[in-house]
Amino acid sequence: MNASPADQLRLLDIADLDARLRQADNARKNPAQAARVQELLAQRQEQSQELAMRLGARDDVQIELARVESDVAMVDARAERDAQRLQTVTNPKDAQGLEHEIASLAKRKSDLEDAQLTLMEKLEQAEAEVAAQEALVAVTNEEGARLSAEGKAAVADATARFEAATRDRAAISAELPADLLTMYDAVAARGVGAALLRRQTCEGCRMVLSGTDLQAIRQTADDVVVTCPECGGILVRTEESGL
C-alpha cells in the first residue's frame, strides 16, 4: 500500500489517541475506587449485622430491667398496703401474718434491687457496645461516601477524556486516506497499530530490527507502507529511524 509520509506520520496521532481511548474507557468502566467500595459494602453488611445483634441484646436487657422495675413497684405497693392494714388489724394472728408477709416483701425487694443493679450495669455495657459498633459503621459509611464521590468524579473525568479523544480521532481520520485507515484499523485489532521506527528500534514492540530487515526497509520507497517484522505494526519512518 502507498501513502504519503505525512499521512503515515499522522497514524502515530491515531495510535496515541487509541491508547488514550483504551485508558479512558478502562478508567470509566473500572474506577480505582470500585474495588474498595465493594469491600466497604461487604464490611458494612457485616458491621450492620453485628450492630443488629448488639441492639437486640441491649433491648433484651432494657425489657428485663423494665420488668424488674415493675416488680419493685408492685412489691412496694403491696408492702405499703400491708403496712396500712397492720395499723388497723386487731387480730394477733392476722397481724403476725401481715408482719411475715411484709418481711418476705422486704426480702423480695432486696433481691429485685440487686437484680436491678446488675441489669443497669449490663445495660450500660450493652449501650457502650452499641455505641462502639455504631461508630464503626459511621467510619465505614464515611469512607464509602467519600470513595463513591471520588469514583463518580473519576468516571466523569474519564468519560470527558474518552469523548474528547473520540472527537479528535474522528477529525484526524477524516483527513487520512480511507484505505490507509482501514489497514491501520485491521493491524491495530491484532496488536500495535502504528509505531515510530526510532534508532532502528520499533517503538511498538521495543525490538531492534535485524540488519536484513533494515536493509529491506532502506530500499523501500518513502510512500510505501511498511510493517514491523516482529509485531506487525505499521512502521513510521522519520529522520530518527537510523536508516
173-226 pLDDT per residue, tens? 999 999 999 999 999 999 999 999 999 999 999 999 999 999 999 999 999 999
d(CA 8, CA 13): 10
**pLDDT range class, residue 228, cuts 50, 70, 90:** very high
Residues 11 and 112 occupy one common structural domain: no
Say if 168 falls within a structural domain: no
d(CA 81, CA 73): 12
Q: Is 187 exposed, middle or buried (0-12, 13-18, 19+ CB in 10 A)?
A: buried
Residues 152 and 35 occupy one common structural domain: yes
195 DSSP β-pair partners: 235
Looking at 158, 184, 219, the residue that finishes a domain is 158
Residues 144 and 214 occupy one common structural domain: no
The full length of the chain comes to: 243
Over residues 59-103, the pLDDT tens digits come to 999 999 999 999 999 999 998 998 888 888 778 887 788 889 989
Residues 115 and 43 occupy one common structural domain: yes
Q: Of 243, 228, 220, 229, which Cα lies nearest the Cα of 2?
A: 220
**pLDDT range class, residue 242, cuts 50, 70, 90:** confident
Looking at 126, 158, 190, the residue that finishes a domain is 158
For the domain that residue 118 is a member of, what is the CATH number?
1.10.287.1700
pTM for this predicted structure: 0.70
Residues 76 and 33 occupy one common structural domain: yes
Residues 137 and 230 occupy one common structural domain: no
pLDDT at 29: 93
Over residues 116-175, the pLDDT tens digits come to 999 999 999 999 999 999 999 999 999 999 999 999 999 999 999 999 999 999 999 999
- Dihedral sign from CA coordinates of 209, 212, 213, 215: positive
Residues 20 and 51 occupy one common structural domain: no
Say if 164 falls within a structural domain: no
Say if 14 falls within a structural domain: yes
Say if 136 falls within a structural domain: yes
- φ, ψ dihedrals at 193, nearest 5°: -80, -50
Q: Strand, coil or helix: what is 202?
A: strand
Residues 113 and 198 occupy one common structural domain: no
Domain interval for residue 47: 28-158
Residues 88 and 197 occupy one common structural domain: no
Say if 169 falls within a structural domain: no
Side chain identity, residue 111: D
Residues 12 and 42 occupy one common structural domain: no
d(CA 180, CA 16): 16
- Dihedral sign from CA coordinates of 119, 124, 128, 133: positive
